[in-house]
Amino acid sequence: MHFDLTPEEVMIRDAVRDFAEGVVAPNASKRDETGEVPFAIMQQMGSLGFFGIPFAEEWGGSGANTMSYALAVEEIGRVDASLGLGFAAHVSLGCSPLYYFGSDAQKRQFLEQAIKGVYLAAFGLTEPEAGSDAGGTQTKALREGEHYRLNGTKIFITNAGHAGYIVATARTDPASRKISSFIVPHDTAGVSVRCDYTKMGMRSSETCEIHFDDVVIPAEYRLGAEDKGFHQFLDILDGGRISIGALSVGVAEASLQASLAYANQRRQFGKALNEFQAIQFKLADMAMEVELARTMVHKAAWLKDRHRPYAKEAAMAKLYASEVAMRASSEAVQIHGGAGYMNDFPVERYMRDAKLLVIGEGTSEIQRMVIARYLLQEQNS
C-alpha cells in the first residue's frame, strides 16, 4: 500500500495549516468563552477556496478530493474544534446534498454562493422526536399544486443562523415514513431560527432550533425525486462521518501535542514529567491511537475518492476517531493535573469539545449498529 500524500494534498494541507495557525488559533479560547460565531473567518475560508475542496470546478470548487478535504478539516479542528465543526457541517451536510442530488438550476442558485462563503448552508435533520431514529421525522411537507407547505421543528442544527438555505427533511405522506428533502431559503416566510443553546463544548459553533410554520416553497426546491430523502440523507451521513472522523483526529492530535509540551516543561520530584514511565506510557498510547485513527479516516476517504463502497469504513473511522479524541483529551487533562482543569490551558476545552464527537453525526452506539449491519450483510452475501 502507498501512504504518501500527493503533492496537491500536501499543498492543500499546508495552506490550511498556515491559515489555522495564523488566523484561527489566536482567538479560539476567547471565542469559546464568549460563544462568538466566527462567521467572518468562515467567509474568509470560502473566499480562499476551502469550502470547494471536494467539489468540481464547474460549481466553483477546486476539483480536489475527499482526502484533501479530510486533511483540511483536521487542520482547522486541531486549533478550533468549534470552527472545524462549522466547516464540516457546511461542506458535508449543507453543500453536499445539493452537489450530489440537486439539479443544475439548484446548484447555480444556491450551491455556488455557499461554496464561495457568501453564506453558510445547514442540514435540518434532527427533531425533538427524531434523533438517532432519523427516519422518525415528524416535519411534514404537503403538496399543494406547484408548491409544498412545510410545518415542523428541527433542533441542534449547525450553522442555521448564518445559513442562506437549509436542506430540510420532511414527510410527504402523513400516513407513512416516506421522506423527501427540500431546499428552504432562510428568508422564506414562516421560517424562524433561534440560536441560543447553552452548550458544554463547541461553544462558538452555531447551534440552532428551526421552526417551519406554514412555510410555502415551490416544488422545484424539492431535492431530487419525491420520497427519496431517506436514502439521500443516509448517503450524506456516510460522507459526513469521514469529516467528523477527521475533526476528531484534529482534537486528538491537539491533545497529544499539548501533553507533550506540558510534560516537557513541568517538573515534579526534581525531574520533568516526561521522565516518568507512567507519563511516557500515556503519551505512547495517545500517539498510537491518533495515528491509527488518522489512518482509518484516510482509508475511508481513499475509498470514497475511488468510488468504492466506503460506508462501513466511514462508520468505523468516525467511531474509533471520536472515541480516541475523547480518550486523548481526557488523558491530556490528567497529564496536566489541576492545571488541566483550569482554562489557562486549552486541554479542558479539547475535552469538552470531544464529547460532542461521540454523539453527533450518529452516536457511537449507532455506528456500532451500522458496522454490525454491514458485517452481517457480508456474511450472508
Say yes or no: 94 and 193 in one domain.
no
276 and 144, same structural domain? Answer: no
Write the DSSP assignment of 187-246 as a string of letters: TSTTEEEE-----SS-TTS-EEEEEEEEEEEEGGGEESSTT-HHHHHHHHHHHHHHHHHH
Residue 240, domain member (yes or no): yes
Residue 38 maps to a domain: yes
Of the residues 33, 74, 361, 365, which is catalytic? 361
CB-CB neighbours of 303 under 10 Å: 18
Same domain, 292 and 359: yes
pLDDT value at residue 338: 96
Q: pLDDT class for 173, splitting at 50, 70, 90?
A: confident
Residue 262 lies in a domain: yes
Question: Which of residues 199, 227, 255 is at a domain's end?
Answer: 227
pTM value is: 0.96
Query: Domain check: are 242 and 357 in the same one?
Result: yes
Q: What are the C-alpha distances in Å from 244 to residues 32, 69, 87, 354?
A: 19, 11, 10, 11
From 85-94, 170-179, 323-332, the region with the lowest mean pLDDT: 170-179
In a domain, 1, yes or no: no
Report the CATH number that the domain containing residue 370 is assigned in CATH. 1.20.140.10
Is 57 considered catalytic here? Answer: no
Q: Looking at the predicted structure, is the pLDDT value of residue 359 above 80?
A: yes
**Which residue, 46, 73, 49, 58, is CA-closest to 239?**
73
- Range 333-341 average pLDDT: 97
Summarised one tens digit per residue, pLDDT across range 30-47 is: 999 999 999 999 999 999
Lowest mean pLDDT among 6-10, 171-175, 211-215, 301-305: 171-175
Residue 177 pLDDT > 90: no
2, part of any domain:
no
pLDDT score of 119: 98
Torsion 62-64-68-69 (CA) sign = positive
Is residue 47 included in any domain, yes or no? yes
Average pLDDT across the chain, whole number:
96
The answer to whether 10 and 3 are in contact (CB under 8 A) is: no
Instruction: Give how many domains the chain has, as a whole number.
Output: 3
Q: Indicate whether 158 and 237 sit together in one domain.
A: no
Do 149 and 116 belong together in one domain? no
pLDDT in tens, 87-103: 999 999 999 999 999 99
- What pLDDT, on the 0 to 100 scale, is given for residue 16? 98
Grid cell 428568508 is found at 187
Q: Which of 93, 120, 147 is the last residue of a domain?
A: 120
d(CA 61, CA 336): 42
Decide which of 227, 246, 268 is a domain's last residue. Answer: 227
Domain check: are 241 and 222 in the same one?
no
Q: Are residues 147 and 178 in the same domain?
A: yes
Q: How many residues does the chain have?
A: 381
Is the domain of 277 the same as that of 250?
yes
138-157 pLDDT tens trace: 999 999 999 999 999 999 99
pLDDT over 80 (residue 115): yes
- How does residue 134 score in pLDDT terms, banded at 50, 70 and 90? confident
15: domain range?
7-120
Q: Are residues 258 and 371 in the same domain?
A: yes
- Same domain, yes or no, for 113 and 20? yes
Question: Is 30 domain-assigned?
Answer: yes
In this prediction, residue 175 has a pLDDT band, given cuts at 50, 70 and 90, of confident
CATH number at residue 32: 1.10.540.10
Residues 241 and 233: beta-carbon distance below 8 Å: no
359 in a domain, yes or no? Answer: yes
Segment 59-88 mean pLDDT: 97
How would residue 63 be classed by pLDDT, with cut points 50, 70 and 90?
very high
Composition of the chain by helix, strand, coil, percent to 5: 60, 15, 25
Residues 264 and 331 in one domain: yes
Question: What does the pLDDT average to over 48-66?
Answer: 96
CATH code, 215 = 2.40.110.10
pLDDT in tens, 2-40: 899 999 999 999 999 999 999 999 999 999 999 999 999
